[in-house]
Amino acid sequence: MLETVTENGDPSGLRAASEEKRIGKHRTVEATTTGMQNSEEVITFKTLAEKAAASPQYLYQNFRSIVDTLRESTQAQAVQVDGDEVRIRTARRSAMIEVRLRGKVAGLEQELVELHKQRPYCSEDTRKSVVILMNGRAATNEL
């Protein structure tokens, strides 16, 4: 059991428990940071706080310079995607971008359906332009 206050009013047991907790949290954050670096994840105050179960305020107060440095270095990293260099992003940001792109694709597919409905009313030049614009996608669906 924890000794909270001694007979003379000295809260040394409380201080020791507080120090142990502080050291434990510090080690947890360091281990999480190392793990995120090894897995090449983007390190931000928010992502580190979530993974280390620490508050962003704790990180700002105790790890600000370290997280700032790691954030800058990991956000500058890039990967090759279909021949293009793309900056690494957090999982949440990537998911948001994916949702937006899926929405755009759905809109374009709907527009394509509308164009197919209108094709009997289009001139030959318009039909050829649509085939050229759809480049490959419409090659299988002859107009």
**Extents of the domains making up the chain:** 1-88, 89-143
Q: How far is CA 1 from the centre of its chain?
A: 43
Work out whether the CA dihedral 17, 23, 26, 30 comes out positive or negative.
Answer: negative
The position carrying tokens 């206050």 is 5
Where is average pLDDT lowest: 30-34, 53-57, 93-97, 127-131? 127-131
Classified as helix, coil or strand, 20 is helix
- Give the pLDDT confidence of 11-65 residue by residue, as tens digits: 677 888 888 888 998 899 999 989 988 887 878 888 889 999 989 898 889 888 8
| Burial status of residue 52 (CB atoms within 10 A of its CB: 0-12, 13-18, 19 or more) | buried
The position carrying tokens 């704790």 is 58
d(CA 23, CA 27): 6
d(CA 117, CA 137): 16
| Residue 138, pLDDT score | 45
Give the chain's mean pLDDT. 76
